[in-house]
Structure 1
Amino acid sequence: MDLYQHFRQEEYPFIDQVLSWREEVTNRYESRLTDFLHPREQRIFKSLIGNDETLKLDFFGAWEDAERKRAILTPFYEEITTESFEVELLQAKFPEKFVSIEHRDVLGAFLSAGIHRKKIGDIIINDGYIQILVAKDITTYLTTNVTSIKKANVQFDNVSFSQLLDSTNRWIESTATCSSLRLDVLIKEMYQTSRQQALDLIKKGFVKVNFQTIEQAAFLLEEGDLLSVRGKGRTRLKELQGKTKKDKVRIIFEKLN
């Protein structure tokens, strides 16, 4: 059976990378630590490793509902601890009364400073504080080069995981039946728009699936996909529940509140 038939063509390079990691750990008995992976990549990683009893796979993203996580693949006898993931929690305070800072502002500041997205985990903003999980090897660079966000001066410092802010992410679960798993059809159902509005959003490049801009209305979504629409928020396709007697697809999806 062709392994690749279960995945999208654009995912083949990541699949090859995971298979290479698996071979390294199996043959050299060395652990392999990844950069931060988004949910779809985590799902692929899990499916490729499967129930291999000679290996141990674990993920860490600090928050219980973390979206982005680092993965570590080790021989089955290795102990995995928080320290194994080589991450640090950074925190900065900003004057909430005078400036409003959102997730995109923080991420934009990091990217403008030349920091790669794959080195950054989740970003939490709550009660005038910003927290972010980062790979240890960029901590010094980040704290030195990111000193302002949206005209507010900030200073990021290392804090203990015991000081984790409450995540403000709240996913609201809903059910629906759809004629297909096409991107335009699911946008219509998940965001309560017309089919034409969904098509317009896709054509304008306002739609991302698993953080990649998708401009094909016929693109087919799969269980676990994360969908974001500019100005309308994020949803994820949590579960496929088979078909109805009228051949429609039953889905469970979640929308970020």
Structure 2
Amino acid sequence: MMSKGKKFFMYAFLTIFSLLSIFPLYYMLCAATNKSIDVIAGKLIPGTYLIENYKSLIANQNLGLALWNSFRNSFILTILCLLVCSIAGYGFEIYHDKGKDAVFTVLLTAMMIPFAAVMIPMFRMFSTLNMVNTMAAFMLPSISTPFMIMMFRQASRSFPHDIIEAARIDGLSELAIFFRMFFPTMRSTYAAAMTIVFMNAWNNYLWPKVILMTNESITMPMLVANLLGGYTVDYGMLMLGVFICTIPTAIVFFCLQKSFAEGITGAVK
């Protein structure tokens, strides 16, 4: 049994670091409700300037268009990425071929290459194909990622192969086995993958900034970056924009946090 003294210090330690973890979120909420001058002064009490900051944000930026573009791009990219990467990971584990390990090694090696190293060649390629300012150019580099394929391959290792053989004997096609048996079994893995892909797609800034050059293609991270432009920065309005940009990913994570933990640890129900 743990002594009372050890319990006290343990809970005190956890409490202190929990408060330190949530302090940036609290500071952001306070800053979003205060004037810029109060934010600069370090005011840590919620204010009454939220409506004015929202009106300023609407007046200076096209918030509705940015939210729509981010939701649309993130939703479509998440669906396509989950479909492609889950099929690829399932195929790498279930089907046997002499060259699959070599191909998978190449995929894992690609994880070591930073995106900045391939950004310019990709832009030139899409420019040659006249695909600049298109959703296809924005989504294609992220539809299939080595990490997601590896994640689904690891999850496929816990999928019973005997069930697959029995389904084949019963006459089920390979696609039917995948969608009717593998897909429902790996719900926690799909939830974890969906959380990661959606958050990455929503927060993606560098590639959309490069490939999407029109004002009609603005996303939330691009809108927040625009708030830093100019000679003066309204920090209250900026923090309100950051808060609005944070809400969707926070909702997705909190709704799927249990399935996310199960999927990351490889649990299968």
Q: Kindly indicate whether structure 1 or structure 2 has the higher relative contact order, using CA contacts under 8 Å at least 6 residues apart.
A: 2
TM-score (norm 2): 0.24
Bigger proportion of residues as helix: 2
TM-score (norm 1): 0.24
